[in-house]
Amino acid sequence: MKKELSLLLLSGVLALSATSVIATPAETEGQLTLSYSDGRTATKGVDNVNAVLHTVGVRVSTLPLPEEATPILEASKTRAITQEESTKLISHFSLHRGQLLDQISKAGRKPEAHRGGFLTTGEDGMAPYPKVYDMNAMTAEVIAFLQEKFGKLHVNSDDSGMGIDEVMTIVSGGPWTWFFLLPDNVIGKLTLGHVSIDGQAWRISYPGLVPHGGFLDPEYGLVVAYAHGPKNFVMRYEEPSVEGAELLGTNSWIDLTGKTPKLLD
């Protein structure tokens, strides 16, 4: 009896310990973590993470959420936002040419196109940038498709070889995951904490010719996406001219063997 009681108490302690280390999405608010595929200790905090990402021309920053956007952000928790709301949301986080060039400069790189190129670009057959990614507007099938499409390391360029420059502003939900190929073919997994109504948005600036990816799995959330440079571009899993070309089309952080992609720890 005493042994059974001890085992029962032990199982309760283990269960409590397990639940205590699993953070809810809201508990990740403000947290920024860069994990490495070679197993080294993760880097945490905006300044520390940026010191690493700067080596490949990537930068993360934070910015306040305008009060005018609150109704849309609140609605995004439970439903897909409308086209009108999407247009308004883009206007609340709009970036003109000078601001886009400033994002590039702060990330320690030069624009792929002279003066930033075309401010409206896109893949053939897809909605052009700027646009909004809305988790509640996607079916489970679409999410799984995009997790594989965006999750595999890729680069974005036109047929002349010109890359795009990208700015993603995460304004709701999370946590969110991006990937960037770092020196020595190490894949960095960038985890950006949950964004609440009274929190701060995340903004990521990165070059389209550095192998990168993203994994869309928040329960809800919105990303205001900007891309610019050539008039159109192609998303490529093969491009022998870029650093780390042999890793394009792969990602050791994602298990693609099942029915749906799975993000790995």
Per-residue pLDDT tens digits of the chain, which is 265 residues long: 444 444 443 444 334 344 345 668 888 999 999 999 999 999 999 999 999 999 999 999 999 999 999 999 999 999 999 999 999 999 999 999 999 999 999 999 999 999 999 999 999 889 999 999 999 999 999 999 999 999 999 999 999 999 999 999 999 999 999 999 999 999 999 999 999 999 999 999 999 999 999 999 999 999 999 999 999 999 999 999 999 999 999 999 999 999 999 999 9
Task: Assess if residue 19 is contained within a domain.
Answer: no
| Residue 24: per-residue pLDDT | 86
Task: Assess if residue 12 is contained within a domain.
Answer: no
**3-state class of 11 per DSSP?**
helix
Task: Assess if residue 118 is contained within a domain.
Answer: yes
Task: Assess if residue 14 is contained within a domain.
Answer: no
**3-state class of 225 per DSSP?**
strand
Task: Assess if residue 8 is contained within a domain.
Answer: no
Task: Assess if residue 188 is contained within a domain.
Answer: yes
Task: Assess if residue 6 is contained within a domain.
Answer: no
| Residue 87: per-residue pLDDT | 98
Range of the domain at 255: 27-263
For residue 263, give the H/E element and its range. Answer: strand 262-263
Phi and psi at 248, nearest 5°, equal -60, 140
Task: Assess if residue 5 is contained within a domain.
Answer: no
* 64: DSSP letter: E
CATH number, position 82: 2.60.120.10
How far apart CA 156 and CA 44 sit, in angstroms, is 28
Residue whose structure tokens are 């904490």: 193
Q: b/e for 41-61, b at 16 or more Cβ within 10 A?
A: eebeeeeebbebbeebbbbbb
Enter the pTM of the model: 0.90
β-pair type (186-192, 32-36): antiparallel
Q: In 3D, which of 210, 152, 193 has the Cα closest to residue 46?
A: 193
| Residue 125: per-residue pLDDT | 87
In this structure, are residues 181 and 56 in contact, taking their beta carbons and an 8 Å threshold? yes
Q: How many domains are contained in the chain?
A: 1
